[in-house]
Chains A and B, each alone.
Chain A
Amino acid sequence: MRSPGPLKQKILKKWMMGLQRCKKNMSILERKRAIKLSADVAMASLRNDAAYWSRVLIAKAVNEANNKKIVQKVFTIRTAACNKRIIRSKKILKRARRRRKRTAQASSITKGLVRKRRRILKSLIPGGEFMNGVTLIEETLDYIISLRAQFDVMESLARFSENQSQ
Protein backbone atom coordinates (compact mmCIF):
# COMPACT_ATOMS: atom_id res chain seq x y z
CA MET A 1 0.00 0.00 0.00
CA ARG A 2 1.33 3.35 -0.90
CA SER A 3 0.41 6.39 1.09
CA PRO A 4 -0.21 9.38 -1.10
CA GLY A 5 2.48 11.55 0.46
CA PRO A 6 5.48 9.56 -0.73
CA LEU A 7 3.77 8.85 -4.02
CA LYS A 8 3.52 12.50 -4.81
CA GLN A 9 7.04 13.04 -3.66
CA LYS A 10 8.12 10.43 -6.16
CA ILE A 11 6.23 12.13 -8.95
CA LEU A 12 7.81 15.40 -8.03
CA LYS A 13 11.26 13.92 -7.92
CA LYS A 14 11.02 12.25 -11.28
CA TRP A 15 9.57 15.33 -12.76
CA MET A 16 12.45 17.43 -11.54
CA MET A 17 14.94 14.91 -12.84
CA GLY A 18 13.45 15.16 -16.25
CA LEU A 19 13.47 18.90 -16.18
CA GLN A 20 17.08 19.13 -15.14
CA ARG A 21 18.20 17.93 -18.50
CA CYS A 22 16.56 20.77 -20.36
CA LYS A 23 18.63 23.40 -22.03
CA LYS A 24 18.53 26.87 -20.62
CA ASN A 25 16.89 29.89 -22.15
CA MET A 26 13.93 28.20 -23.75
CA SER A 27 10.91 30.13 -24.80
CA ILE A 28 7.82 29.97 -22.71
CA LEU A 29 6.12 27.52 -24.97
CA GLU A 30 9.08 25.23 -25.04
CA ARG A 31 9.25 25.38 -21.33
CA LYS A 32 5.61 24.57 -21.00
CA ARG A 33 6.03 21.65 -23.30
CA ALA A 34 9.02 20.40 -21.41
CA ILE A 35 7.25 20.76 -18.09
CA LYS A 36 4.17 18.98 -19.25
CA LEU A 37 6.09 16.23 -20.94
CA SER A 38 8.27 15.64 -17.99
CA ALA A 39 5.30 15.55 -15.67
CA ASP A 40 3.46 13.13 -17.92
CA VAL A 41 6.39 10.83 -18.20
CA ALA A 42 6.96 10.93 -14.47
CA MET A 43 3.34 10.05 -13.86
CA ALA A 44 3.42 7.28 -16.39
CA SER A 45 6.66 5.84 -15.14
CA LEU A 46 5.31 5.43 -11.67
CA ARG A 47 2.74 3.00 -12.89
CA ASN A 48 5.59 0.56 -13.55
CA ASP A 49 3.96 -0.63 -16.71
CA ALA A 50 0.99 -1.90 -14.82
CA ALA A 51 -1.27 0.18 -16.97
CA TYR A 52 -1.36 0.11 -20.71
CA TRP A 53 -1.78 3.80 -21.13
CA SER A 54 1.46 4.51 -19.34
CA ARG A 55 3.46 2.49 -21.80
CA VAL A 56 1.77 4.13 -24.74
CA LEU A 57 2.42 7.55 -23.31
CA ILE A 58 6.08 6.85 -22.89
CA ALA A 59 6.41 5.24 -26.29
CA LYS A 60 4.87 8.27 -27.92
CA ALA A 61 7.12 10.56 -25.96
CA VAL A 62 10.20 8.69 -27.00
CA ASN A 63 9.22 8.66 -30.63
CA GLU A 64 9.65 12.37 -30.87
CA ALA A 65 13.35 12.90 -31.10
CA ASN A 66 13.36 16.14 -29.16
CA ASN A 67 12.09 14.55 -26.05
CA LYS A 68 14.53 11.75 -25.81
CA LYS A 69 16.81 13.42 -23.36
CA ILE A 70 14.08 14.22 -20.92
CA VAL A 71 12.45 10.87 -21.12
CA GLN A 72 15.61 8.90 -20.84
CA LYS A 73 16.64 10.88 -17.87
CA VAL A 74 13.55 9.82 -16.03
CA PHE A 75 13.96 6.15 -16.55
CA THR A 76 14.89 3.46 -19.01
CA ILE A 77 12.25 2.52 -21.50
CA ARG A 78 11.62 -0.54 -23.53
CA THR A 79 10.71 1.34 -26.63
CA ALA A 80 10.91 -1.53 -29.05
CA ALA A 81 8.47 -3.61 -27.06
CA CYS A 82 6.02 -0.76 -26.77
CA ASN A 83 6.10 -0.02 -30.47
CA LYS A 84 5.61 -3.62 -31.38
CA ARG A 85 2.64 -3.81 -29.11
CA ILE A 86 1.11 -0.75 -30.64
CA ILE A 87 1.51 -2.11 -34.14
CA ARG A 88 0.04 -5.43 -33.20
CA SER A 89 -2.92 -3.81 -31.49
CA LYS A 90 -3.61 -1.72 -34.57
CA LYS A 91 -3.84 -4.84 -36.70
CA ILE A 92 -6.20 -6.47 -34.26
CA LEU A 93 -8.33 -3.39 -34.14
CA LYS A 94 -8.65 -3.24 -37.90
CA ARG A 95 -9.81 -6.80 -37.98
CA ALA A 96 -12.29 -6.21 -35.22
CA ARG A 97 -13.79 -3.15 -36.83
CA ARG A 98 -15.98 -5.00 -39.30
CA ARG A 99 -19.43 -5.26 -37.81
CA ARG A 100 -22.94 -5.99 -39.01
CA LYS A 101 -25.66 -3.50 -39.58
CA ARG A 102 -28.25 -3.28 -36.85
CA THR A 103 -31.92 -2.44 -36.94
CA ALA A 104 -33.15 0.74 -35.30
CA GLN A 105 -34.51 -0.18 -31.90
CA ALA A 106 -34.58 1.61 -28.61
CA SER A 107 -31.92 -0.62 -27.15
CA SER A 108 -29.72 -0.25 -30.17
CA ILE A 109 -30.11 3.52 -30.05
CA THR A 110 -28.83 3.60 -26.50
CA LYS A 111 -26.09 1.24 -27.50
CA GLY A 112 -25.19 3.59 -30.29
CA LEU A 113 -24.96 6.46 -27.84
CA VAL A 114 -22.78 4.46 -25.54
CA ARG A 115 -20.61 3.38 -28.40
CA LYS A 116 -20.14 6.94 -29.52
CA ARG A 117 -19.03 7.93 -26.07
CA ARG A 118 -16.75 4.98 -25.84
CA ARG A 119 -15.07 6.16 -28.99
CA ILE A 120 -14.56 9.58 -27.51
CA LEU A 121 -13.12 8.08 -24.38
CA LYS A 122 -10.79 6.00 -26.44
CA SER A 123 -9.50 9.08 -28.15
CA LEU A 124 -8.86 10.73 -24.81
CA ILE A 125 -6.89 8.05 -23.10
CA PRO A 126 -3.43 7.39 -24.50
CA GLY A 127 -3.47 4.10 -26.27
CA GLY A 128 -7.18 3.79 -25.83
CA GLU A 129 -7.98 2.87 -29.39
CA PHE A 130 -6.44 -0.50 -28.94
CA MET A 131 -8.35 -1.57 -25.88
CA ASN A 132 -11.50 -3.58 -25.63
CA GLY A 133 -14.41 -2.52 -23.49
CA VAL A 134 -13.31 -3.96 -20.20
CA THR A 135 -9.72 -2.83 -20.44
CA LEU A 136 -10.83 0.60 -21.49
CA ILE A 137 -12.73 1.19 -18.31
CA GLU A 138 -9.97 -0.13 -16.12
CA GLU A 139 -7.42 2.01 -17.87
CA THR A 140 -9.70 5.00 -17.51
CA LEU A 141 -9.87 4.46 -13.79
CA ASP A 142 -6.16 4.18 -13.54
CA TYR A 143 -5.60 7.19 -15.73
CA ILE A 144 -8.00 9.35 -13.78
CA ILE A 145 -6.28 8.55 -10.53
CA SER A 146 -2.86 9.26 -11.97
CA LEU A 147 -4.02 12.46 -13.58
CA ARG A 148 -5.36 13.64 -10.29
CA ALA A 149 -2.10 12.90 -8.58
CA GLN A 150 -0.18 14.70 -11.27
CA PHE A 151 -2.49 17.64 -11.09
CA ASP A 152 -2.12 17.88 -7.34
CA VAL A 153 1.64 17.84 -7.51
CA MET A 154 1.77 20.47 -10.21
CA GLU A 155 -0.76 22.62 -8.46
CA SER A 156 1.11 22.64 -5.20
CA LEU A 157 4.36 23.42 -6.94
CA ALA A 158 2.75 26.22 -8.89
CA ARG A 159 1.17 27.65 -5.81
CA PHE A 160 4.39 27.42 -3.95
CA SER A 161 6.47 29.11 -6.60
CA GLU A 162 3.90 31.83 -7.00
CA ASN A 163 3.99 32.42 -3.29
CA GLN A 164 7.70 32.56 -3.40
CA SER A 165 7.90 35.01 -6.22
CA GLN A 166 5.47 37.41 -4.58
Chain B
Amino acid sequence: MESNPGTTETRSNLTASDGGQVTAFESLQFTDEIHRLILAPTTINASSFTALVELPPPQAVELLHSPDSTKFIAAKPPNVEDFKGSFRFPSNTSLIEPDARFSVFSGEANNGNENRDSPVSKILNSNLEKAVKSEPAETESAQPLVSDPPVEKRRIKRKGRENKVKGSTKKSKTAVNESSEDAEKLPYVHVRARRGQATDSHSLAERARREKINARMKFLQELVPGCNKISGTALVLDEIINHVQSLQRQVEFLSMRLAAVNPRIDFNLDSVFTSESGSLMDSNFPGLVMPVMWPEVQGDGHRQQYQHQWNSDALQQPVWGREVHNNYITPEKSLLTYDSSANSVTLQANQLKMEL
Protein backbone atom coordinates (compact mmCIF):
# COMPACT_ATOMS: atom_id res chain seq x y z
CA MET B 1 0.00 0.00 0.00
CA GLU B 2 1.02 3.54 -0.12
CA SER B 3 1.74 4.19 3.50
CA ASN B 4 5.45 4.62 3.02
CA PRO B 5 5.54 7.15 0.20
CA GLY B 6 2.66 8.81 1.90
CA THR B 7 4.69 9.22 5.04
CA THR B 8 6.95 12.00 3.91
CA GLU B 9 4.10 13.61 2.10
CA THR B 10 2.14 13.45 5.27
CA ARG B 11 4.70 15.27 7.30
CA SER B 12 5.21 18.03 4.82
CA ASN B 13 1.51 18.44 4.30
CA LEU B 14 0.86 18.66 7.96
CA THR B 15 3.51 21.23 8.56
CA ALA B 16 2.39 23.23 5.57
CA SER B 17 -1.17 23.23 6.65
CA ASP B 18 -0.16 23.95 10.17
CA GLY B 19 1.85 26.96 9.21
CA GLY B 20 -0.69 28.21 6.77
CA GLN B 21 -3.95 27.65 8.50
CA VAL B 22 -3.87 26.29 11.97
CA THR B 23 -2.13 28.37 14.53
CA ALA B 24 1.04 26.95 15.94
CA PHE B 25 -0.72 26.36 19.21
CA GLU B 26 -3.41 24.27 17.62
CA SER B 27 -0.92 22.23 15.68
CA LEU B 28 0.91 21.42 18.86
CA GLN B 29 -2.25 20.15 20.38
CA PHE B 30 -3.02 17.93 17.44
CA THR B 31 0.36 16.42 17.19
CA ASP B 32 0.60 15.98 20.87
CA GLU B 33 -2.59 14.04 20.94
CA ILE B 34 -1.40 11.93 18.10
CA HIS B 35 1.75 11.30 20.04
CA ARG B 36 -0.12 10.25 23.10
CA LEU B 37 -2.65 8.21 21.26
CA ILE B 38 -0.30 6.11 19.25
CA LEU B 39 1.23 3.82 21.80
CA ALA B 40 2.11 0.99 19.55
CA PRO B 41 2.06 1.03 15.79
CA THR B 42 0.13 -2.13 15.18
CA THR B 43 -0.50 -2.14 11.46
CA ILE B 44 1.24 -1.01 8.36
CA ASN B 45 -0.93 2.03 8.26
CA ALA B 46 0.44 3.14 11.55
CA SER B 47 3.82 3.86 10.05
CA SER B 48 2.68 7.09 8.48
CA PHE B 49 1.43 8.23 11.84
CA THR B 50 4.58 7.45 13.66
CA ALA B 51 6.27 9.75 11.23
CA LEU B 52 3.77 12.39 12.16
CA VAL B 53 4.31 11.69 15.78
CA GLU B 54 8.01 12.22 15.59
CA LEU B 55 7.52 15.67 14.30
CA PRO B 56 7.12 17.67 17.45
CA PRO B 57 8.28 15.58 20.35
CA PRO B 58 9.88 18.49 22.19
CA GLN B 59 6.78 20.57 21.71
CA ALA B 60 4.74 17.81 23.26
CA VAL B 61 6.37 18.52 26.56
CA GLU B 62 5.33 22.15 26.39
CA LEU B 63 1.77 21.14 26.09
CA LEU B 64 1.68 19.71 29.54
CA HIS B 65 2.02 23.14 30.95
CA SER B 66 -0.27 24.87 28.52
CA PRO B 67 -3.66 26.03 29.72
CA ASP B 68 -5.40 23.94 27.15
CA SER B 69 -4.74 20.29 27.44
CA THR B 70 -6.43 17.09 26.52
CA LYS B 71 -7.28 14.10 28.56
CA PHE B 72 -5.35 10.98 27.94
CA ILE B 73 -8.04 8.42 27.83
CA ALA B 74 -7.19 4.84 28.55
CA ALA B 75 -4.27 2.82 27.44
CA LYS B 76 -6.09 1.10 24.69
CA PRO B 77 -4.14 1.04 21.47
CA PRO B 78 -6.22 3.01 19.05
CA ASN B 79 -7.40 1.85 15.73
CA VAL B 80 -5.15 3.85 13.55
CA GLU B 81 -7.16 3.36 10.46
CA ASP B 82 -10.24 4.70 12.02
CA PHE B 83 -8.20 7.55 13.37
CA LYS B 84 -7.12 8.41 9.91
CA GLY B 85 -10.60 8.28 8.63
CA SER B 86 -11.94 10.74 11.14
CA PHE B 87 -8.88 12.88 11.65
CA ARG B 88 -9.56 15.25 8.91
CA PHE B 89 -9.32 18.73 10.15
CA PRO B 90 -5.85 19.63 8.93
CA SER B 91 -7.33 18.47 5.67
CA ASN B 92 -4.53 16.13 5.03
CA THR B 93 -5.71 14.12 2.12
CA SER B 94 -2.69 11.88 1.97
CA LEU B 95 -3.53 10.59 5.39
CA ILE B 96 -6.72 9.13 4.18
CA GLU B 97 -6.44 5.49 3.29
CA PRO B 98 -9.12 2.96 2.58
CA ASP B 99 -11.49 3.11 5.40
CA ALA B 100 -10.54 -0.13 7.01
CA ARG B 101 -13.46 -0.03 9.35
CA PHE B 102 -15.54 -1.22 6.49
CA SER B 103 -13.14 -3.44 4.73
CA VAL B 104 -15.06 -6.39 6.05
CA PHE B 105 -14.50 -8.00 2.74
CA SER B 106 -10.83 -8.15 3.42
CA GLY B 107 -11.86 -10.01 6.49
CA GLU B 108 -9.30 -8.59 8.82
CA ALA B 109 -9.16 -8.11 12.51
CA ASN B 110 -11.15 -4.95 12.30
CA ASN B 111 -13.85 -6.47 14.38
CA GLY B 112 -11.31 -6.83 17.11
CA ASN B 113 -10.12 -3.31 16.64
CA GLU B 114 -13.49 -1.71 16.77
CA ASN B 115 -13.63 -1.44 20.49
CA ARG B 116 -10.59 0.70 20.47
CA ASP B 117 -12.26 3.35 18.45
CA SER B 118 -13.84 5.12 21.33
CA PRO B 119 -10.85 6.86 22.85
CA VAL B 120 -9.67 7.93 19.45
CA SER B 121 -12.92 9.34 18.27
CA LYS B 122 -13.51 11.02 21.59
CA ILE B 123 -10.28 12.86 21.42
CA LEU B 124 -10.77 13.70 17.81
CA ASN B 125 -14.12 15.23 18.51
CA SER B 126 -12.63 17.31 21.21
CA ASN B 127 -9.82 18.28 18.89
CA LEU B 128 -12.24 19.60 16.39
CA GLU B 129 -13.98 21.64 18.96
CA LYS B 130 -10.75 23.04 20.18
CA ALA B 131 -9.60 24.07 16.83
CA VAL B 132 -12.86 25.84 16.51
CA LYS B 133 -11.24 28.90 18.02
CA SER B 134 -9.20 29.87 15.02
CA GLU B 135 -12.21 29.46 13.20
CA PRO B 136 -14.58 30.08 10.45
CA ALA B 137 -11.83 31.36 8.25
CA GLU B 138 -10.05 28.13 8.81
CA THR B 139 -12.91 25.91 8.02
CA GLU B 140 -13.48 27.80 4.84
CA SER B 141 -9.91 27.50 3.80
CA ALA B 142 -9.88 23.91 4.92
CA GLN B 143 -12.86 23.08 2.82
CA PRO B 144 -11.29 23.39 -0.62
CA LEU B 145 -8.58 21.02 0.50
CA VAL B 146 -11.08 18.89 2.23
CA SER B 147 -13.14 18.44 -0.85
CA ASP B 148 -10.21 16.93 -2.64
CA PRO B 149 -10.73 13.38 -1.47
CA PRO B 150 -14.04 12.95 -3.12
CA VAL B 151 -14.92 9.96 -1.08
CA GLU B 152 -18.46 10.72 -0.23
CA LYS B 153 -18.86 9.05 3.06
CA ARG B 154 -15.92 10.99 4.38
CA ARG B 155 -17.39 14.15 3.01
CA ILE B 156 -20.57 13.46 4.83
CA LYS B 157 -18.74 12.87 8.05
CA ARG B 158 -16.67 15.93 7.51
CA LYS B 159 -19.71 18.09 6.91
CA GLY B 160 -21.22 16.76 10.05
CA ARG B 161 -18.11 17.61 11.96
CA GLU B 162 -17.73 21.02 10.41
CA ASN B 163 -21.30 21.84 11.14
CA LYS B 164 -20.66 21.02 14.70
CA VAL B 165 -17.53 23.07 14.56
CA LYS B 166 -19.26 26.12 13.13
CA GLY B 167 -22.16 25.77 15.44
CA SER B 168 -20.05 25.61 18.49
CA THR B 169 -17.86 28.62 17.85
CA LYS B 170 -19.51 30.49 20.63
CA LYS B 171 -19.39 27.51 22.90
CA SER B 172 -15.70 27.01 22.48
CA LYS B 173 -14.77 29.97 24.61
CA THR B 174 -16.75 28.81 27.57
CA ALA B 175 -15.37 25.36 27.02
CA VAL B 176 -11.89 26.76 27.12
CA ASN B 177 -12.55 28.31 30.47
CA GLU B 178 -13.95 25.09 31.85
CA SER B 179 -11.07 22.96 30.80
CA SER B 180 -8.46 25.48 31.76
CA GLU B 181 -9.64 25.24 35.31
CA ASP B 182 -9.50 21.51 35.19
CA ALA B 183 -6.03 21.51 33.82
CA GLU B 184 -4.66 23.40 36.71
CA LYS B 185 -6.19 21.09 39.22
CA LEU B 186 -5.16 17.76 37.82
CA PRO B 187 -1.97 16.48 36.26
CA TYR B 188 -3.77 14.78 33.36
CA VAL B 189 -4.69 16.29 30.06
CA HIS B 190 -8.38 16.73 29.63
CA VAL B 191 -10.87 16.46 26.90
CA ARG B 192 -12.64 19.66 26.19
CA ALA B 193 -16.30 18.93 26.61
CA ARG B 194 -18.95 20.54 24.57
CA ARG B 195 -21.01 23.11 26.36
CA GLY B 196 -23.93 21.70 28.25
CA GLN B 197 -22.64 18.15 28.29
CA ALA B 198 -21.24 16.13 31.14
CA THR B 199 -17.59 15.40 31.28
CA ASP B 200 -17.47 12.21 33.26
CA SER B 201 -16.06 9.17 31.62
CA HIS B 202 -19.36 7.35 31.39
CA SER B 203 -21.08 9.94 29.31
CA LEU B 204 -17.99 10.38 27.21
CA ALA B 205 -17.96 6.70 26.50
CA GLU B 206 -21.64 6.78 25.74
CA ARG B 207 -21.20 9.71 23.43
CA ALA B 208 -18.41 8.01 21.57
CA ARG B 209 -20.49 4.89 21.25
CA ARG B 210 -23.46 6.85 20.00
CA GLU B 211 -21.31 8.57 17.43
CA LYS B 212 -19.96 5.28 16.26
CA ILE B 213 -23.44 3.97 15.85
CA ASN B 214 -24.48 7.06 13.96
CA ALA B 215 -21.53 6.75 11.65
CA ARG B 216 -22.47 3.16 10.87
CA MET B 217 -26.04 4.22 10.29
CA LYS B 218 -24.83 6.67 7.68
CA PHE B 219 -23.12 3.87 5.85
CA LEU B 220 -26.28 1.87 5.96
CA GLN B 221 -28.20 4.82 4.63
CA GLU B 222 -25.92 5.01 1.69
CA LEU B 223 -26.14 1.32 1.03
CA VAL B 224 -29.86 0.91 1.14
CA PRO B 225 -31.41 2.71 -1.79
CA GLY B 226 -33.70 5.55 -0.96
CA CYS B 227 -32.50 6.10 2.55
CA ASN B 228 -30.58 9.23 1.88
CA LYS B 229 -33.58 11.49 1.91
CA ILE B 230 -35.04 10.07 5.07
CA SER B 231 -34.04 11.69 8.29
CA GLY B 232 -34.56 10.01 11.57
CA THR B 233 -33.19 6.75 12.79
CA ALA B 234 -36.50 4.95 13.14
CA LEU B 235 -37.56 5.48 9.55
CA VAL B 236 -34.17 4.60 8.21
CA LEU B 237 -34.19 1.43 10.25
CA ASP B 238 -37.61 0.70 8.81
CA GLU B 239 -36.20 0.95 5.32
CA ILE B 240 -33.29 -1.25 6.20
CA ILE B 241 -35.55 -3.87 7.66
CA ASN B 242 -37.72 -3.79 4.58
CA HIS B 243 -34.70 -4.14 2.39
CA VAL B 244 -33.31 -7.11 4.28
CA GLN B 245 -36.69 -8.78 4.37
CA SER B 246 -37.23 -8.28 0.68
CA LEU B 247 -33.79 -9.63 -0.12
CA GLN B 248 -34.41 -12.71 1.95
CA ARG B 249 -37.80 -13.26 0.37
CA GLN B 250 -36.35 -12.83 -3.09
CA VAL B 251 -33.72 -15.43 -2.35
CA GLU B 252 -36.42 -17.83 -1.29
CA PHE B 253 -38.45 -17.22 -4.41
CA LEU B 254 -35.42 -17.63 -6.57
CA SER B 255 -34.56 -20.92 -4.99
CA MET B 256 -38.11 -22.04 -5.58
CA ARG B 257 -37.82 -20.99 -9.18
CA LEU B 258 -34.61 -22.86 -9.59
CA ALA B 259 -36.08 -25.95 -8.02
CA ALA B 260 -39.03 -25.75 -10.36
CA VAL B 261 -36.93 -25.27 -13.44
CA ASN B 262 -34.72 -28.27 -12.96
CA PRO B 263 -36.28 -31.65 -12.38
CA ARG B 264 -33.12 -32.69 -10.66
CA ILE B 265 -30.38 -30.71 -9.08
CA ASP B 266 -27.62 -30.80 -11.47
CA PHE B 267 -26.93 -27.77 -13.46
CA ASN B 268 -25.01 -28.07 -16.61
CA LEU B 269 -21.91 -26.45 -15.31
CA ASP B 270 -19.95 -26.11 -18.48
CA SER B 271 -22.61 -24.23 -20.30
CA VAL B 272 -23.40 -22.28 -17.20
CA PHE B 273 -19.92 -20.97 -16.94
CA THR B 274 -19.31 -20.21 -20.55
CA SER B 275 -22.49 -18.36 -21.19
CA GLU B 276 -22.99 -16.99 -17.74
CA SER B 277 -19.58 -15.51 -17.29
CA GLY B 278 -20.53 -12.66 -19.52
CA SER B 279 -23.96 -12.04 -18.12
CA LEU B 280 -22.91 -12.72 -14.56
CA MET B 281 -20.46 -9.96 -14.83
CA ASP B 282 -22.80 -7.54 -16.48
CA SER B 283 -25.74 -7.90 -14.20
CA ASN B 284 -23.78 -8.42 -11.06
CA PHE B 285 -21.53 -5.45 -11.38
CA PRO B 286 -23.98 -2.81 -10.30
CA GLY B 287 -25.02 -4.98 -7.41
CA LEU B 288 -21.62 -5.40 -5.96
CA VAL B 289 -19.66 -2.55 -7.41
CA MET B 290 -20.74 -0.05 -4.87
CA PRO B 291 -20.49 -2.10 -1.72
CA VAL B 292 -17.26 -3.81 -2.67
CA MET B 293 -15.49 -0.85 -4.16
CA TRP B 294 -16.63 1.67 -1.69
CA PRO B 295 -14.67 0.58 1.35
CA GLU B 296 -11.54 0.74 -0.70
CA VAL B 297 -12.06 3.81 -2.76
CA GLN B 298 -9.16 6.14 -2.57
CA GLY B 299 -9.48 9.59 -3.95
CA ASP B 300 -11.90 8.22 -6.46
CA GLY B 301 -14.15 10.72 -7.99
CA HIS B 302 -16.87 8.30 -8.93
CA ARG B 303 -18.61 8.09 -5.63
CA GLN B 304 -21.73 9.79 -6.85
CA GLN B 305 -21.84 7.53 -9.82
CA TYR B 306 -21.84 4.43 -7.69
CA GLN B 307 -24.76 5.53 -5.68
CA HIS B 308 -26.69 6.72 -8.64
CA GLN B 309 -26.16 3.43 -10.32
CA TRP B 310 -27.32 1.46 -7.38
CA ASN B 311 -30.44 3.58 -7.08
CA SER B 312 -31.30 3.08 -10.70
CA ASP B 313 -30.55 -0.58 -10.34
CA ALA B 314 -32.90 -0.92 -7.42
CA LEU B 315 -35.65 0.66 -9.42
CA GLN B 316 -35.10 -1.77 -12.19
CA GLN B 317 -34.85 -4.77 -9.99
CA PRO B 318 -38.42 -5.94 -10.20
CA VAL B 319 -38.30 -5.55 -13.94
CA TRP B 320 -34.92 -7.12 -14.30
CA GLY B 321 -35.44 -8.53 -17.71
CA ARG B 322 -33.20 -9.47 -20.56
CA GLU B 323 -32.06 -6.00 -21.41
CA VAL B 324 -30.05 -5.59 -18.27
CA HIS B 325 -26.76 -6.17 -19.99
CA ASN B 326 -27.18 -3.28 -22.36
CA ASN B 327 -28.11 -0.91 -19.62
CA TYR B 328 -25.09 -1.49 -17.54
CA ILE B 329 -22.29 -1.78 -19.97
CA THR B 330 -21.75 1.87 -20.77
CA PRO B 331 -21.83 3.33 -17.28
CA GLU B 332 -19.52 0.68 -16.01
CA LYS B 333 -16.76 1.64 -18.33
CA SER B 334 -16.15 4.64 -16.24
CA LEU B 335 -16.20 2.68 -13.03
CA LEU B 336 -13.86 -0.18 -13.72
CA THR B 337 -11.59 -1.38 -16.40
CA TYR B 338 -14.37 -3.24 -18.05
CA ASP B 339 -12.42 -5.12 -20.64
CA SER B 340 -9.73 -6.40 -18.37
CA SER B 341 -12.23 -7.64 -15.84
CA ALA B 342 -14.17 -9.35 -18.58
CA ASN B 343 -11.07 -11.24 -19.50
CA SER B 344 -10.36 -12.10 -15.91
CA VAL B 345 -13.85 -13.48 -15.47
CA THR B 346 -13.61 -15.76 -18.46
CA LEU B 347 -10.24 -16.92 -17.25
CA GLN B 348 -11.73 -17.66 -13.87
CA ALA B 349 -14.54 -19.57 -15.50
CA ASN B 350 -12.05 -21.78 -17.26
CA GLN B 351 -10.13 -22.34 -14.08
CA LEU B 352 -13.24 -23.30 -12.22
CA LYS B 353 -14.24 -25.70 -14.92
CA MET B 354 -10.90 -27.40 -14.66
CA GLU B 355 -11.08 -27.58 -10.92
CA LEU B 356 -14.47 -29.10 -10.94
State the A residues within 8 Å of B (CB). Answer: 1-9, 12-13, 16-17, 19-20, 22, 24-26, 28-29, 31-36, 39-40, 47-52, 110, 113-114, 117-118, 120-121, 124-125, 133-135, 137-138, 140-145, 147-162, 164-165
Q: Is the CB of A50 within 8 A of B237?
A: no
**Chain B contacts for A28, CB-based, 8 A:** 256, 259-260
Interface locus among B123-131, B190-198, B284-292:
B284-292
> How far in angstroms is the closest Cβ of chain A from B333?
15
The residue of chain B having its C-beta at the shortest distance from the C-beta of A115 within the complex is B234
Which residues does chain B contribute within 8 Å of A34, judged by CB atoms?
265
- Sample 26 A-B pairs with CB under 8 A, ordered by A number: A4-B287, A4-B292, A5-B280, A5-B344, A6-B345, A9-B352, A22-B265, A26-B265, A28-B256, A28-B260, A35-B259, A39-B251, A47-B107, A50-B105, A50-B108, A51-B104, A117-B238, A120-B241, A121-B241, A133-B213, A141-B223, A142-B104, A158-B254, A160-B276, A161-B261, A161-B262
Let me know if B102 is at the binding interface, CB within 8 A.
Answer: yes
The reply to whether A157 and B247 contact each other, CB–CB distance below 8 Å, is no
Q: Is B186 an interface residue (CB 8 A)?
A: no
Query: Closest residue of chain B to A121, judged by CB?
Result: B241
A137 in contact with B217 (CB, 8 Å): yes
Which of chain B's residues have a CB closer than 8 A to the CB of A22? 265
Please determine whether B255 and A154 come into contact, CB atoms closer than 8 angstroms: yes
Within 8 Å CB of B74, what residues of A? none
B240: contacting residue among A32, A140, A157, CB under 8 A: A140
Given A137-B217, A158-B258, A117 and B287 contact (CB-CB distance below 8 Å): no
Interface size on B, residues (CB 8 A): 77
Complex contact A50–B114 (CB within 8 A): no
A156 and B282 CA atoms in complex are apart in Å by 10
B306 to chain A, nearest CB (A): 12
Knowing that A6-B344, A49-B107, A152-B284 are A-B contacts, what are 15 other residue pairs whose CB atoms are under 8 Å apart, sorted by A's residue number?
Answer: A19-B265, A20-B266, A26-B265, A31-B262, A32-B256, A32-B258, A32-B259, A36-B252, A117-B237, A117-B238, A118-B237, A134-B209, A149-B287, A157-B258, A160-B272
B245 within 8 A of A: yes
CA distance A126 to B144 in the complex (A): 44
Selected contact of A143 from candidates B111, B114, B244, B356, CB within 8 Å: B244
Q: Are B244 and A155 in touch, CB under 8 angstroms? A: no
Which residues of chain B (279-331) have a CB below 8 Å from chain A?
279-281, 283-285, 287-289, 291-293, 296, 320, 322
Name the B residues within 8 Å of A145 (CB-CB). 105, 223, 288, 291-292
Q: Which residues of chain A come closer than 8 Å to B238, judged between CB atoms?
A: 117
Cα A51 to Cα B265 in complex, Å, equals 29
Q: Chain B residue with minimal CB distance to A47?
A: B107
Cβ of B275 within 8 Å of any chain A Cβ, yes or no, is yes
Nearest-CB residue, chain B, relative to A155: B254
Q: Is B264 close to A, CB under 8 A? A: yes
Task: Check if B291 sits within 8 Å of A148, measured CB to CB.
Answer: yes
Instruction: Given the known inter-chain contacts A4-B288, A144-B223, please indicate yes or no for A158 contacting B261, CB distance below 8 A.
Output: yes
Task: Please give the residue numbers on chain B whose beta carbons come within 8 Å of chain A beta carbons, in ascending order.
Answer: 102, 104-108, 111, 114, 209, 212-213, 216-217, 219-220, 223-224, 232-234, 237-238, 240-241, 243-245, 247-248, 250-252, 254-262, 264-269, 271-273, 275-277, 279-281, 283-285, 287-289, 291-293, 296, 320, 322, 336, 341, 344-345, 348-349, 352, 355-356
Chain A contacts for B261, CB-based, 8 A: 158, 161-162, 165
Using A125-B244, A156-B284 as known contacts, say yes or no to A4 and B255 having CB atoms under 8 A apart.
no
**How far apart are the CA atoms of A150 and B352 in the complex, in Å?**
18
Q: Which residues of B contact A25 (CB under 8 A)?
A: 264
| Most-contacted residue by chain A among B247, B260, B283, B288 (CB, 10 A) | B288
Q: Is the CB of A8 within 8 A of B280?
A: yes
Contact of A7 among B209, B277, B288 (CB under 8 A): B288
Interface core residue of A8, A135, A144, A150 (most chain B CB under 10 Å): A8
Q: Determine whether the beta carbon of A138 is less than 8 Å from that of B104.
A: yes
Contact of A164 among B220, B271, B293 (CB under 8 A): B271
Complex-state Cα separation, A26 to B219, whole angstroms: 42
Q: What residues on A are CB-neighbors of B219 within 8 Å?
A: 137, 141
A156/B252 contact (C-beta < 8 A), A35-B259, A144-B224 known: no
**Given known A-B contacts A4-B292, A13-B356, A26-B265, A137 and B243 have beta carbons under 8 A apart:** no
Is A9 a contact partner of B345 (Cβ separation < 8 A)? yes
- Chain B residue contacts of A113, Cβ below 8 A: 234
A81 vs chain B, min Cβ distance (A): 15
Cα–Cα, bound, A35→B355 (Å): 21
